[in-house]
A and B are shown apart, each in its own frame.
Chain A
Amino acid sequence: MAHLTATATAAVRHFDLASETLRELNAYLHREAPLSGVREVHVANPAGAHSVACGLDFGVDVQIHGHVGYYVAGMNKTATVTVHGNAGPGAAENMMSGRVHIKGFASTAAGASAHGGLLVIDGDASLRCGISLKGADIVVGGSVGSFSAFMAQAGRIVVCGDAEDALGDSLYEAVIYVRGSVRSLGADARFEPMQDADHTALAALLRAAGMPHPTAEFKRVASARSLYHWNADADQEY
């Protein structure tokens, strides 16, 4: 046990962005940290900085204590990034794998274009959450703004609160589970019955995100696939 304690102590690195630069932090996370024994990094005083812990590519646990700006944990791979605060636009955009957890609210385009991994937002997410999602899972504890899951291609989005306008507009194969009300569905999105497989998948997502809700409270939204093929007979004007 003694050596484990010593390793744990040595394996934690603290950054203070009030006295160290963002570039120093990100350079450390990209170059030094993967080669060192450090597997836990704490970041104090982010003060709304952009691109904090972006582009990580190894199994590190980054804990950010405060609010961040644009693109936190963008392009994340393997790492676990937790923001003890709110996030600006584009949180975890283009994430490939790993886990990003926003304890507060997230601004627009959270999880945009993310390919893999899990994004958890405890509070609300603003407009365009999960836009062009490509395979990641997003669990939002609160509500999502308009145009969420716009053109989402693969992956799952769980909304424990409500959704604003045009949810799932031009949706491809991503699936949305919504617990609250939906102000309006987007073009080609439709409600579908929850199957056993949906309950199983949703229960696993809720468990992973630490959300307490029973799956029976959720509705499934998926693509009607009517936009997959051009309809030459449709009377459309442009």
Chain B
Amino acid sequence: MCGIVGLLVKKPAWRERLGALMVPMLTGMTERGPDSAGLAVYTEPVADADHKLSLYRGVHAVDWAALVGDLERAISGEHRMFANGNHAVLTSTANPDDIAAWLGKHAPLVAVLAIGRAIDLYKDVGAPAEIAERYRFKHLRGSHLVGHTRMATESAVTPAHAHPFTAGRDFCLVHNGSLSNPHLVRKKLEPLGIAFETDNDTEAACRFFEWRLREGDDLETAVQRGFSELDGFYTFLMGTDRELLIVRDAFACKPAVVAETDDFVAIASEFRSLAHLPDIAHASLFEPKPEEIYSWHI
């Protein structure tokens, strides 16, 4: 079992409140996912010349300031680091793939959680409320977000196995359910040069969709292909810098509820994570139908 939450605010003024509105949504899904939690938040994009990387050092003693110093000596460009405990967002004019490769070699204890121009990604093990507090989720601002609370059923409880999973630029995915053919998907993708970081089933779905996006599909088309490629139970919630998308498998075994008003679209596994939202009594509420794709753009 797991919990998913998604929120997209329609009016720029609401972007200040994104994190505060979301925290009760995430903690409301604690019973569905008490072992880990994660969140991708889409902010104002960085400048055209920049990218940003969400970095995570876990319990390891990595000196963020020293790391930026080392990076400056190794890769030319302007690097700015905003660190918060074991998490940091690095904004840089350098090629982010070069930075990720350098980190892999020179700072292997640092995980790159996401790369993009709008995405900030946080995930860790622990209760959702602790994680929300650890990373000050209530202060987060942005246009939309994708969150997850995890109750592991098929692979280990580690920060790397927590959701959201990311691939490419500004793409993330969370999953409630379990896939039955992730290894086949992986066998198909690895010969194409697509590397995996974990043995988690959800990562296979994430990398499959991102591969299709790079091949030129739009997200809806990629998801449509997924109906025949991905076998198993799923409610997938995905984010890009412009879009929030939800889809459920043909059997709709895993729950999802959508609430939409003039101000926001909010998605959760259960209504109890939506009950606190402003003017929820007048929201349009529905459950996504099986194999129907629902998406919203900012």
The answer to whether B290 touches A105, judged by C-beta atoms less than 8 angstroms apart, is no
B side interface size, CB within 8 A: 17
The answer to whether A48 touches B274, judged by C-beta atoms less than 8 angstroms apart, is yes
| Bound complex: CA A191 to CA B253 (Å) | 28
The answer to whether B275 touches A88, judged by C-beta atoms less than 8 angstroms apart, is no
Interface string of B258-298 (1 = CB under 8 A from A): 00000000000011111110000000011101100000000
| Bound complex: CA A86 to CA B284 (Å) | 12
Question: CB of A82 within 8 A of chain B?
Answer: no
Which residues in B have their C-beta under 8 angstroms from that of A105? 286-287
Question: CB of B251 within 8 A of chain A?
Answer: yes
The answer to whether B251 touches A89, judged by C-beta atoms less than 8 angstroms apart, is no
Contact residue among A86, A108, A146, A147 (Cβ-Cβ distance under 8 Å from B271): A86
| Bound complex: CA A215 to CA B274 (Å) | 39
Question: CB of B252 within 8 A of chain A?
Answer: yes
The answer to whether A88 touches B290, judged by C-beta atoms less than 8 angstroms apart, is no
The answer to whether B272 touches A126, judged by C-beta atoms less than 8 angstroms apart, is no
Question: CB of A77 within 8 A of chain B?
Answer: no
Within 8 A of B (CB), among A52-88: 67, 69-70, 86, 88
The answer to whether B272 touches A48, judged by C-beta atoms less than 8 angstroms apart, is yes
Question: CB of B255 within 8 A of chain A?
Answer: yes
Interface string of B182-224 (1 = CB under 8 A from A): 0000000000000000000000000000000000000000000
Which chain A residue has the least Cβ–Cβ distance from B275?
Answer: A47
Determine the main DSSP class of A at the interface with B: loop
Question: CB of A145 within 8 A of chain B?
Answer: yes
Which residues in A have their C-beta under 8 angstroms from that of B253? 108
The answer to whether B270 touches A108, judged by C-beta atoms less than 8 angstroms apart, is no
Known: A48-B275, A69-B270. Contact between A127 and B255, CB under 8 A?
Answer: no
The answer to whether B285 touches A86, judged by C-beta atoms less than 8 angstroms apart, is yes
The answer to whether A108 touches B252, judged by C-beta atoms less than 8 angstroms apart, is yes
Known: A89-B255, A107-B255, A127-B290. Contact between A49 and B272, CB under 8 A?
Answer: yes
The answer to whether B255 touches A145, judged by C-beta atoms less than 8 angstroms apart, is no
Known: A49-B272, A146-B290. Contact between A67 and B252, CB under 8 A?
Answer: no
Which residues in A have their C-beta under 8 angstroms from that of B287? 105, 107, 126
CB of A195 to closest CB in B, whole Å: 34
| Bound complex: CA A98 to CA B289 (Å) | 30
Which residues in A have their C-beta under 8 angstroms from that of B251? 127, 146-147
The answer to whether A145 touches B270, judged by C-beta atoms less than 8 angstroms apart, is no
Which chain A residue has the least Cβ–Cβ distance from B285?
Answer: A86
| Bound complex: CA A50 to CA B289 (Å) | 22
Interface string of A79-121 (1 = CB under 8 A from B): 0000000101100000000000000110110000000000000
Which residues in A have their C-beta under 8 angstroms from that of B255? 88-89, 107-108
Interface string of B141-170 (1 = CB under 8 A from A): 000000000000000000000000000000
| Bound complex: CA A126 to CA B289 (Å) | 8
- Looking at B250, B255, B286, which has the most chain A CB atoms within 10 Å of its CB? B255
The answer to whether B290 touches A145, judged by C-beta atoms less than 8 angstroms apart, is yes
| Bound complex: CA A122 to CA B255 (Å) | 20
Which residues in B have their C-beta under 8 angstroms from that of A145? 252, 289-290
Interface string of A12-41 (1 = CB under 8 A from B): 000000000000000000000000000000
| Bound complex: CA A105 to CA B271 (Å) | 13
Which chain B residue has the least Cβ–Cβ distance from A89?
Answer: B255
CB of B273 to closest CB in A, whole Å: 8
Known: A67-B285, A105-B287, A146-B290. Contact between A88 and B270, CB under 8 A?
Answer: yes
Interface string of A116-141 (1 = CB under 8 A from B): 00000000001100000000000000
Could you list 14 further interchain pairs (A-B, Cβ under 8 angstroms) beyond the known A48-B274, A86-B285? A47-B272, A47-B275, A48-B275, A49-B272, A69-B270, A69-B272, A70-B270, A86-B271, A89-B255, A108-B255, A127-B252, A145-B252, A145-B289, A147-B251
Closest CB pairs A-B (n = 6): A48-B272, A48-B271, A47-B275, A67-B271, A127-B252, A48-B275
Name 23 A/B residue pairs within 8 A (Cβ), A-sorted: A47-B271, A48-B270, A48-B271, A48-B273, A48-B275, A50-B272, A67-B271, A67-B285, A69-B272, A86-B271, A86-B285, A88-B255, A104-B285, A105-B287, A107-B255, A108-B252, A108-B253, A127-B251, A145-B289, A145-B290, A146-B250, A146-B290, A147-B251
| B residues lining the A interface (CB < 8 Å) | 250-253, 255, 270-276, 285-287, 289-290
